[in-house]
Structures are given as structure tokens and as C-alpha cells.
Amino acid sequence: MPVNPIELALFASRLDAVCDEMGAVLRQAAFSPNIRDRLDFSCAIFDREGRLSAQAAHIPVHLGSMAHAMAEIVAAVDWADGDMLVLNDPFLGGTHLPDVTLIAPLFLDGRLIAFVANRAHHADIGAASPGSMPVSRRLEDEGLILAPTRLVRAGEIDAEVLDRILGATRNPEDARGDFLAQLSANRVGLSRLGVLVSELGESGYAAILGELNRYGERLARSALTAIPDGVYRFEDWMDDDGQGGVEILIRLSMQVSDGEVSLDFSGTAPQVEGNINCPLAVTAAAVLYVFRCLMPRQTPACAGSFGPIRLTVPQGCFLNAARPAAVAAGNVETSSRVVDVVMGALAQALPEAIPAASHGSMNNLAMGCADPKGAWDYYETIGGGMGAGAQGGGWSGVQTHMTNTLNTPVEVLESRFPLRVEHYGLRAGSGGLGARPGGDGLIRAFRFLAPTQVTLLTERRRFAPWGIAGGRSGSKGHNRLNGQSLASKVSLGVESGDLICVETPGGGGWGAPE
């Protein structure tokens, strides 16, 4: 059927609204600060074949990886009305084990129409290390592995499956609350999307969704046509893998031709011992994020918008790792570096449009206590400096690129956990100098009020965030325990009274400083 622009815009907005409402339900119903306060979750809609239809403006690394992996998940399952699937296996559609995904099919008159899905980060998914972000060597060290499994059958929760998941956690009642929040978010999504499909009819919904994808592809090709044709290359390095490997190379050759882009990561370092390895879906998420930023604001977040982008990542390199590779930090740290590499290549083609490197690390801090008498788990990411661009200096003390979470308020931390935040502020002077300076990083210091196990997974402690167009690099980050330097990736026990201080990197500067 013919679709006029107003109808198409209203349709796209209604899909987005479904995702937004799913996110609101998930946040309000969740128990953990990680979901309720930091907003470490994402919601999306897919068509019957698993192609992305819409997503909320949540976490780029969640949503891009879901978009890349959903088609294979959908094809492998015999779906039934009232089912809901749970998974976290990074090699079967997940990212890393703490990110747990729930997928629900929408049926109309017995026919499969679409899917709704949400992904949320659980601070405890059964790893021996509190916070479930260990300095690991194998996937099995990182917690409970969930291959795609029916959590709900014909509308009823499978108690055996849920109990198995909760039994791996230290606080099963809190975990239960978070999983029920995810279930509720999907149920709301099915209800709202079902109303839209019923109004349009199955064929009408499919027709307008097809037009949305064609519109997204037209906008994408128009934006990519603005990139001059050519081959652009860039390299950057991960600091280390936490297991003795250092200076781990990411190499990219990017070819642009007539509104299409092919990215080839041949020459990238092989799979490593530590946990900075990525499943391919995470690498794809980082690549898609960068190009999405070049597209007009009205570009719909659908499969058509990513059609002109091709990706080659050799199997067995650390950006396309194989089981049983450890991947806990790949989702957070390596994805950030992939963004830097793609932007570094694009900067050669679009020097006025691409900013300097941002802080390049989610500065992951996981902590807790495994003692059953007082078990607790907490995880957070800490912001840093944004890279400066031709249009302005970088922002200070913010999350950038592949994460989009908030910080947990100090009051929430101190009321729930045995610690005190002694310092939280900007790291003055850490942004790179330039005609437009990079943003400053953050300083966040924790005084522990009880013995605690702490894990740090951080980057840009060896290689500073690069400047651009003559701008200087931002300052490297530092981790300290009682004033003494710590490795970038470390797990250790601290005693009551100990102080851990995380100083995050600044962003790179743009243009030669005066």
C-alpha cells in the first residue's frame, strides 16, 4: 500500500514509543541499582526474521550486537505464542555473561509477526568474583552460561529454569526482581506492539515496515555518499589482556565506494588469553554505532539503515573470537577501541566531522562480598573525557560512545553497600590541549567499610587517547590502592579502611594549541 511521509513518521514514532515504554517498565520494576539507577539495559523490536525494526536510545553495545545476532537466534527456534527465551551465551547471540537477553515473539491469529527483546546487565551472574566481571581466562570463569532457553512457555514461567538461574546468584531475591522486571517489559512491549499490528493488519504492518527500511537505507546511503571514495587505514592498540599480553593490535582497512563501506580487520591480533576478546556481534555493534552517528537524526534505527555497511573480521582474531575465549572485557573495553579505530580511519576522509579519541574505557569497577552472611555485588562504569572536534571542545566527566549509562548516586551507593565515596569530581587538566581542548576525566575514590573483593577492568592506562588535527593526547588513566599504582586489569581483596581511587583518561584535543 502507498505510504505518505506523515504516516511513515507516525509509524516510526509509535515503534520507538513501544521501546521507550518497555524501558520505563524495566527501570521502574527492577531491584538493582545497576538497572534502576545506572540504566544499564536496552529494548528493541525485530521483524519475524530477526531484522531490527526499532530501538530505544539505550546502550549502543547492547543494541548493535542484538541487531547483528538476532536473525540466527530466530531461525534456530521453533517459536510458539506465549514463549519467552532467555540467553547470555556470547557465542550464541549474547555479548558477555552479565548481559542477559529476553526475547518474546508476537503472534497475530496464529501467525508470527515480530519480536520484542530487552537486554539488561546483571551485577551477579554467578562468577566467583563479586560483580561477575572477573580477570578471566575462559568463558566458564565468568559465570552461568545460558544458551537460548525457554524461560516462559505458553505464558507461564518455567520455574525450573528460573530457579537454576537464581541459584547461581548470591542474592536470589534481588535477581528474581530484575528478571521479573525484564519479563514485564517484554509483556508490555507485546501488548503495545500488538495494538499497532491489529490496527494495520498483518499485511499493512509488513508493508509500512518495508517502507521504513527502504527509507532508512536511502538516508544511510546519502550520508555515506558524503564520505569521499577511497581506502583509509588506521591502527590502535589495547593496553593489555590482564594475563601478560600487552600492546594488542587492532588494524583496519576501510574502503568507501559510492555510498557503500567495507571494513576489513585483517591483520588484527589473534585471540588472546585474557578477557578482552569479542564475539563478532560486539565488533559489529561498535562499527554500526560509528556510522549511525554520521546519519541524519531522523534516520530510523532499523535494518535498512545498516544495509550499505559490510564487515570482514577474520575468525580467530580477538575481534571474532571462538569458544571458550574469555570475553567479559571485550564487550566494554574492546568495543570502545574499535570505535576509536573506525573513527581514526574516517578522520582521514572527513577531518572536519570526526572528533579526537574520547577516554576509550568504560573504567569498569566490580566489587562485593561472597560471604553468605552478608553477600553483595555491585558493578559500575565510570565516565571520562570526551574527545574534542572542529565544532567544539570535548565534554568532561561523561560516558561516551558504546555506553550510555548514568552514574549511581553517591547516596544510593552508601545506603546499600559498606563503602563511602570520599571523592567524586573532575580530573582537572587531563583533557588534551588543542585549539579546542579535550574533556577532563573523572576521579572517583571509594573508602571500604568492610573487607571487599574488587575487580578493575580498564584501558587507556598505557596508550593515551589520541588528539587530532594537531591536538594533543588526553592524559592516561590511573588506578590506585592506598596511593600505590594498580594494574589496568586486576582483582584483589581490600580491607576495611582501604581506599581505591580511579582516575579516568581525558579526551584528545582538536587542532594545534595556541
**Mean pLDDT on 213-221:** 96
Count of CB atoms situated within 10 Å of the CB of 152: 20
Cα gap 408→39, rounded to integer Å: 9
What single-letter DSSP state applies at residue 353?
Answer: T
Tell me: pLDDT of 428 over 70: yes
The pLDDT of residue 1 is 57
> If you average pLDDT over residues 35-58, what whole number do you get?
91
pLDDT in tens, 284-324: 999 999 999 999 999 999 999 999 999 999 999 999 999 99
Mode of pairing for the β-strands spanning 309-312 and 260-264: parallel
Closest by CA to 21, choosing from 197, 189, 198, is: 189
The span from the CA of 162 to the CA of 490, in Å, is 32
Flag the least confident range among 46-50, 56-60, 80-84, 227-231. 56-60
Comparing CA positions, the residue from 115, 64, 94, 113 lying closest to residue 306 is 64
Assess whether pLDDT exceeds 70 at residue 209: yes
Q: Where are the alpha helices (DSSP H) in 246-349?
A: 280-294, 335-349
pLDDT confidence bin for 403, thresholds 50/70/90: confident
Residue 374's pLDDT is 84
Here the cell at position 33 is 541499582
Predicted local distance difference test score (pLDDT) of residue 56: 84
| Residue in this structure with the C-alpha cell 570475553, named with its chain if needed | 327
Phi, psi of 203 (to 5 degrees): -70, -35
CB 275 within 8 A of CB 329: yes
Of 368, 392, 352, 377, which Cα lies nearest the Cα of 507? 392
What is the biggest distance separating any 2 CA atoms in the chain, rounded to whole angstroms? 68
Q: For residue 99, which of 86, 81, 110 has the smallest C-alpha distance?
A: 86
Peptide bond into 172 cis (omega under 30): no
How many residues can be counted in the chain? Answer: 514
Looking at this protein, which amino acid is placed at residue 238? Answer: M
Which cell numbers hold the place of 484?
600505590
Predicted confidence (pLDDT) at residue 372 exceeds the cutoff of 70: yes
- Cis omega before residue 105 (within 30°)? no
pLDDT value at residue 63:
64
**Statement: residue 179 has pLDDT above 90:** yes
Q: What 3-state DSSP class applies to 506?
A: coil
Beta-carbon count within 10 A of 8 CB: 16
The percentage of the chain sitting over the pLDDT mark of 70, rounded to a whole number, equals 99
Q: How many CB atoms lie within 10 A of CB 424?
A: 15
Main-chain dihedrals φ then ψ at residue 95, nearest 5 degrees: -120, -70
Pick from 270, 360, 278: which is nearest to 326 by CA? 278
Give helix 202-225 / helix 5-29 axis angle, nearest 10°: 100
Q: CA nearest 233: which of 348, 351, 311?
A: 348
Q: Distance (Å, rounded) from C-alpha 183 to C-alpha 164? A: 17
- Average model confidence (pLDDT) for the chain? 95
% pLDDT > 90, the chain: 89
Work out the average pLDDT over 100-126. 96
Cβ atoms 387, 510 nearer than 8 A: yes
Buried b (16+ CB within 10 A) or exposed e, 387-417: bbbbeebbbbbbbbbbbbbebbeeeebeeeb
Q: Are 35 and 178 in contact (CB under 8 A)?
A: yes
Span 133-168, pLDDT tens digits: 999 999 999 999 999 999 999 999 999 999 999 999
pLDDT tens digits, 381-391: 999 999 999 99
Whether 194 has a pLDDT exceeding 60, the answer reads yes
Distance of CA 118 to the CA centre of its chain: 13
Question: What pairs with residue 457 in β-bridges?
Answer: 364, 489
Tell me, what amino acid is at 109? D
* DSSP 8-state symbol, 19: H
pLDDT digits (tens, 9 = 90+) for 316-359: 999 999 999 999 999 999 999 999 999 999 999 999 999 999 99
* Res 250: pLDDT: 98
CA 333 to CA 276: how far, in whole Å? 7
